Amino acid sequence: MSEQELGNAADFAATPDAFQRLWTPHRLVYIQSGQQPDRDACPFCIGPSKTDEEALIVHRGKHAYVILNLFPYNSGHLLVCPYRHVDTYDKATTEEVVEIAELTQQAMRVLKSVSHAHGFNIGMNQGEVAGAGIAGHLHQHIVPRWRNDSNFFPIIAETKALPKLLGEVRDEIARGWQSLPESR
């Protein structure tokens, strides 16, 4: 459509205000497609039953898998989750702990290769009081960081600027994971 067909902003029914809008049409799919699980359902238990593309899974292991965070701090923010529904690290089996650690190392290698990350924030918030958004299912965060990646948006405007759509990021990371050498 041309600018003339669209009119200008002043022609639309709206009351001017001081707010800036950050349009995120890619998130409409979660509303329209009914992708939000029931309030009592665990998204980390549901994810593995979907296709990798639907669930944003980038790699599946034997005891754990790696998925993109739906509400990322940075592009490429990954979560490593055991398949088993367990809430805290001390309840994980030795096999789960080992694979979570190995997948975390692999994720770091992939993110260095794919997005040229300079560093990482890695951690687990266990329990609602510790800040876990999904306290019932253990998950480890891997947040890629770059020099000069901080900006005023999260501090001043409570807004995160993400340069790529989640589906694009998932595809890049999944391809990067496939190109990892089998041995360390």
The 10 Å Cβ neighbour count of residue 110 is 27
The residue type found at 59 is H
DSSP assignment of 70-91: SS-SSTT-EEEEESS---SGGG
H helical segments located in 20-124: 28-32, 43-46, 52-55, 94-115
Q: Which residues are catalytic?
A: 139
Say if CB 102 and CB 130 are below 8 A apart. Answer: no
Round to whole Å and give the CA distance between 138 and 135.
7
